[in-house]
Amino acid sequence: MANNDIYNEIQYPGPYQLAWAKFRADHVSWVCFCIVIFFIIVAIFAPLVAPYSPTEQNTDYVLLPPSWQNAGDVHFLLGTDDLGRDVLSRLIYGTQITFGLSLLVALAAMVVGLALGALAGMSKGIRASVFNHLLDTILSIPSLLLAIVIVAALGPGLFNTIWAVFLVLIPQFVHRTRIAVQNEFKKEYVTAARLDGANDFQILISSVFPNIIETIILQYSLAVSAAMLDVAALGFLGLGAQQGSPEWGAMLAGSIDLIYRASWLATLPGVTMFLCLLSVNTVGHGLRNALKQRSE
């Protein structure tokens, strides 16, 4: 039926728009979302934003405090470390490593986890049972322990850390996807689609995925925060990013020796990491609330 009354067109917000509106209405989440976007921009454009290279040693300006202190220097906004490297630039490049890589690795894990999870959700019988057991095994090991063991096998280093975090994150996505897919497949609209002659794959793509995408996004926000914590923790323990890398955890570990003399070196990476984690977590919470409110 054609709609002739174009002036009184009633627009019903779609489910995504509805959730988005709910999300925006929550001010705290919205602010945190903006902070996350800010961090993403910083991570992408780090070389443009950072005033110096993260490894450039200005040996004439060693251990300068942040510029708001008397001994500070405006050229080095957040001061310099013991090798004369600009702390602000290091934090910015650190965003690229700790936060940026976490975003990417979580994304990669999501893609792989989604595929495996969908397979697991649709398969039945002995294969599914073996697969689920395997999953339970991996899920029952704490992620950091697993990452530590993987790093121990591969040898310390940032690259291996990323691998480890990637492997650690996959099972969680698989788990979530599997349960979501299984639930969806039980629903009547899937049966209806099946009666129309659609095969499993078509149902998955056109019916199930759009319905579980929100669960996955939620899981993604959790994964990013977990990835950041693991990357930073391994860096802090000296098993991840190499000594001297601007990775936040490694920066923190490197500055402990100077905690009396240059406390800002330990404070600033900590504060940055906290801010970033808090924003990611709050966005996750906000998303969950928005979805919940919509369904209510």
Partner 1 sequence: MIVYFIRRFNLLVTTLFLLSLISFSLAHLFPGDAAINFSGQQSLTYQEYAKLTEELALNESYFVQYIVYMQRVVQGDFGNSFSSDASVLDDFMRVFPASAELSAYALILTAIVGLPLGLWAGVKRNSWIDKVIFSSATIANSIPIFWMGLLLMLLFSLNLAWLPISGRLNLLYEVPSDTGILLIDIALSNLDNKYQIYQDALRHLVLPTITLAILPTTILIGMMRSSVINVMATPYIKAAKTKGLSTFQIIRKHVFRNAILPIIPQFGLLFNTLMTSTMITEFIFSWPGIGHWLIEAIYQRDYPVIQAALLLVSSFMVVINVLSDIVHTLLNPLVRKEING
Partner 2 sequence: MMNKLIKLWFSTLSISFLLAGCDRAQDTTLANGLIYCSEGNPESFNPQTTTSGITLDASSQQLYDRLIELDAATGDLTAGIATSWQTSPDGKTIDIFLRKDVKFHQTRYFIPSRTLNAQDVVFSFNRWRLSTHPFYSSADSYPHMQSYELDALIKDIEAVSPYHVRFHLNQQSASFLHHLATDYMVILSAEYGAKLELQSSKSQLDNYPIGTGPFYFDNFVKDEFIRFKAHPDYWQGQPHINQLVYDITPQSSSRLAKLITGECDVVAHPVASEMEVLQDKAGVTLQSKNAENVAFWAFNTLKPPFDRAEVRRALAKSIDRQTIYKTIYYGMAFPANSLIPPSSWGYNSNLPHLTYNPEQAKKELRAAGIEEGFELEIWSPHIEREYNPNSLKMAELIQANLAAVGINATIVDYEWSTLRKKLSSHEHDSVLIGWSADMVSPDNFLTATLSCAAAVIGNNRAAWCNPHFDELVKSAMLSDDLNRQKELYMQAQSLLHQEMPIFPIAHSLSFLAKQDNVLNIKFSPYSAISFKHVEKIK
Nearest to 224 by CA among 96, 91, 104: 104
52, 61, 70, 78, 263 from 73: Cα distances, Å: 14, 9, 8, 9, 17
* 259 forms part of the interface with partner 1 (CB under 8 A): yes
Helix (H, G, I), strand (E, B) or coil at 9: coil
Partner in contact with 273, chosen from partner 2, partner 1, none, beta carbon below 5 to 8 Å by kind: partner 1
Buried b (16+ CB within 10 A) or exposed e, 253-290: bbbeeeeeebebbbebbbebbeebbebbebbbbbbbbb
Q: Give the distance between the most distant pair of CA atoms in the chain.
A: 77
- Judged by CB under 8 A, the residue of 83, 238, 258, 293 near partner 1 is 238
Stretch of residues binding partner 1 (CB under 8 A), selected from 10-18, 85-93, 149-157, 177-185: 149-157
Encoded tokens for 260: 């009396």
- Judged by CB under 8 A, the residue of 28, 71, 192, 259 near partner 2 is 259
Cα–Cα–Cα angle for 122, 125, 128, nearest 5°?
55
* 243 forms part of the interface with partner 2 (CB under 8 A): yes
* 270 forms part of the interface with partner 2 (CB under 8 A): no
Considering the complex, state which of residue 204 and residue 241 has its C-beta at the smaller distance from partner 1: 241
In contact, 277 and 225? CB cutoff 8 Å: yes
- Judged by CB under 8 A, the residue of 30, 31, 38, 57 near partner 2 is 57
- Judged by CB under 8 A, the residue of 87, 91, 229, 265 near partner 1 is 229
- Judged by CB under 8 A, the residue of 261, 263, 278, 292 near partner 2 is 261
* 224 forms part of the interface with partner 1 (CB under 8 A): no
Nearest to 200 by CA among 185, 179, 216, 180: 185
**Half-sphere CA count of 220, side-chain side, radius 13 A:** 19
Stretch of residues binding partner 2 (CB under 8 A), selected from 7-15, 38-46, 213-221, 236-244: 236-244
Considering the complex, state which of residue 38 and residue 163 has its C-beta at the smaller distance from partner 2: 163
Partner in contact with 210, chosen from partner 2, partner 1, none, beta carbon below 5 to 8 Å by kind: none
Cα–Cα–Cα angle for 43, 46, 52, nearest 5°?
145
Place of tokens 């443009």: 48
Distance of closest approach, residue 168 Cβ to partner 1, in angstroms: 11
Distance of closest approach, residue 156 Cβ to partner 2, in angstroms: 8
> Footprint of partner 1 on this chain (CB under 8 A)?
133-134, 136-137, 140-145, 148-149, 151-153, 155-156, 225, 229, 232-233, 236-239, 249, 252, 256, 259, 266, 270, 273-274, 277-278, 281-282, 285
